[in-house]
Amino acid sequence: GDDAAIIDANQINSLLSSNKNVEALKLFLSSSPTGVKDPTSKKAARDLAFRILMAIKTAQMDGAISQLDQDSLDVLMKFIYAGFESPYEGSSGHLLVWHEKVFSATGIGSVVRVLADKRKA
């Protein structure tokens, strides 16, 4: 069922602390984080997503995006929108750059899919 979402936060945090931010992003996105139902887990998934997105420098974004498939990019877009809804201090500008870069990689299709999909981040 939908409870298949297992986010290995420990592994992701250890990738982040080793500066392997893009690997952390790929691992996070591939663990179907939007399948999480429980509100506490959902918030934890969001928090983790923002830590990863904030850790990746602007100069690294294109390289990261080029390594993601369509599904991962759609999931990434969901977390970017989640970030706009509850912005952290200083995160909005960084998330806007993410949005711009993902958008230019996916076009309007990703935005339409994200907005049509009820499984929000």
Q: Are 20 and 56 in contact (CB under 8 A)?
A: no
Which tens digit of pLDDT belongs to each residue from 46-104? 999 999 999 999 999 999 999 999 999 999 999 999 998 887 777 789 999 999 999 99
Query: Given a cut of 50, is residue 3 above it in pLDDT?
Result: no
- Other Cβ atoms closer than 10 A to 110: 20
